[in-house]
Amino acid sequence: MSKFKTVADRMHQIIIAPVISEKSTRVAEKANQAVFKVARDAEKNEIKRAVETLFSVKVEGVRTVNVQGKTKRFGRSEGRRSDWKKAYVTLAEGQEIDFLVGGAS
């Protein structure tokens, strides 16, 4: 028995947030890709299904990267940021996700 009530709940748990940075913007323009912060236990086929369903786009491929958390100092004490997973989602020709509007165009 899954800890999620429905498949839709799991899809909303997989995609945490879009990654908005210079690199992700450059990749979006050059290679027609979108970059997302995703759940650490998410698999590529789950990410593909979630993006296709939530944004109504056609996904050609998914590449994932496990990002190691940085060590940071806070005065004398030292802390560590959490590890996280990043997904580069390649969209089909002519497909696009506009994060400012919140939907696909």
Cβ contact 26:49 at 8 Å = no
The string of pLDDT tens digits covering residues 24-74 is: 999 989 999 999 999 999 999 999 999 999 999 999 999 999 999 999 998
Within a domain: residue 1? no
Within a domain: residue 19? yes
Within a domain: residue 62? yes
Within a domain: residue 17? yes
The Cα 100–Cα 19 span in angstroms is 12
Within a domain: residue 88? yes
Q: Is the pLDDT of residue 102 over 70?
A: no
CATH number, domain at 65?
Answer: 3.30.70.330
Helix or strand holding residue 37 (H, E): strand 33-38
| Domain span holding position 39 | 7-104
Number of domains in the chain: 1
Within a domain: residue 89? yes
Residue predicted with more confidence, 6 or 35: 35
